[in-house]
Structures are given as C-alpha cells and as structure tokens.
Amino acid sequence: MQLVIGNKKYSSWSLRPWLGLTQAGIAFDERVINLYAPDSLAQRLAVTPTGKVPALVDGELVIWETLAIAEYVAEKYPQAGLWPADATARAVARAVCAEMHAGFVPLRSTCNMDLSRRKTVEITPAVQADVDRIVALWADCRARFGTSGPFLFGAFSWADAFYAPVATRFRTYGIALPPEAQAYVDLLLALPAFKAWEAAALAEPWSDQ
Ligand SMILES: N[C@@H](CCC(=O)N[C@@H](CS)C(=O)NCC(=O)O)C(=O)O
C-alpha cells in the first residue's frame, strides 16, 4: 500500500491515516506531495479525483477520504484493532471520528495545523465552543470506554488518530485545557509514531510563508 500525503507540517488529514497505520505497525510506503508546489494540484489530480490528500493506493484501488481509508485499513487488518472490539464502543468511536470529519470548522479555520511554529490567535466564542466540545467528548470517551488504557477507547484506535491533529493545534496555539485533556494531548504528542512524523515535518524544506 502507498499512502499519498501532503506536507507533514501542515496536512492534518494526512497525519490521521499515517499515524493510525504507523501506530498499528502496518507496512506502507509514503509519497509526499508538496501542497505549495506550482504543479501540486496536477500531481494530486493524477492520484485522486478530488485532488486532495490523503489517498491510499492499494494496487489498482485508490481510496480518497480519510474515513474511507480508516474503514478499509480496519477491514484489511482486523488484528490491528484500530476500531474497538466492543460494538457499542466501536459505534461511538465512529461517531467521534465522523464528528471530527464534518465539524469543528471554527477551530480548524482559525487554528490551522502548523508543527513548525507557536502562534497566538483570538479565541472567539465559536472557537472556544469547539474546544469545549472536544474536551467534553474526550472526557466522555475516556470515562465510558477508556478504563483499560490511556487512549479514548483504552487501546489506541482510529479515534486517537483523528484527534491527533487537534492535539497539535492546542499546543501550537497555547490553548488552555483542563488537566485531563492536557494529559491526553501530551500522550498523543509523545507517541513515537507522532514524534517520527514531527521530526520529518520539521525537516521539510517547504514553508507556507
Ligand atoms: N475530506 C477529505 C479532506 C482532505 C483535505 O482537505 N486535504 C487537504 C490537505 S490536509 C488538501 O488536500 N488540500 C489541498 C487542496 O484543497 O487543494 C479527507 O477526509 O481526506
């Protein structure tokens, strides 16, 4: 399998499947397309119909859209346990991933992922509402499903991969969090797989400036 991704500094959608695959120990090749290259869109359109990354290429099959990549990987590698085994937990894990996929527009548009800088922005009521919802969501998953381990559903799952870019945004923009949420951010940002992504991000020659 080849995962086609964007700049590791900036591409939050690319981080999600990369982290899930890497954390699960699933072998894959990666191809990075610089989102700021003059021919970037053409390069991406040569891979996916939307021209967006990530895309997972498995032989003749090209899967775009991160949720679909997550489902494909979970079906192909069930032993990786990327969805919780319990049906109730699995349904909630899918719901929080879908909520991430579809929502949090104020947070995502105000606080873009940037692993190379620390920034300050105005935390508008809409951004704060997103932060509050994420903190509540994490606390609910941890309380209901996370007793067997440190992640949202105990063991690492797609839900953690989907919220990892949010953890970087909270760090980049110095967003104040309750201790439990801060501990979860620290856990995600200390994962060896995330550290490897971050080191590669900081070594990238490209900048959006
Ligand atoms: N809904 C898509 C979103 C993908 C997406 O927006 N990717 C960004 C990079 S993080 C992208 O390709 N941006 C380039 C562009 O929009 O031209 C998914 O879940 O994979």
Domain boundary among 79, 107, 128: 79
Q: Are residues 99 and 34 in the same domain?
A: no
Q: Are residues 106 and 120 in the same domain?
A: yes
Q: Are residues 15 and 57 in the same domain?
A: yes
Domain boundary among 79, 111, 136: 79
* Interval 169-192 mean pLDDT: 98
What pLDDT, in 10s, does the model give residues 159-180? 999 999 999 999 999 999 999 9
Within a domain: residue 100? yes
Distance 145 CA to ligand 1 centre (A): 30
Report whether residue 96 contacts ligand 1, using a CB cutoff of 6 Å. no
pLDDT interval class at 207 (50, 70, 90) = confident
Mutate to test the pocket of ligand 1, among 13, 100, 105 (most ligand atoms within 8 A of CB): 13
Domain range spanning residue 9? 2-79
CATH code for the domain of 25: 3.40.30.10
Q: Are residues 47 and 118 in the same domain?
A: no
Question: For residues 104 and 118, what is the distance between their CA atoms, to the nearest angstrom?
Answer: 21
What pLDDT, in 10s, does the model give residues 48-70? 999 999 999 999 999 999 999 99
Q: Are residues 187 and 95 in the same domain?
A: yes
Q: Are residues 74 and 127 in the same domain?
A: no
Q: Closest residue (by CA) to atom 14 of ligand 1?
A: 52
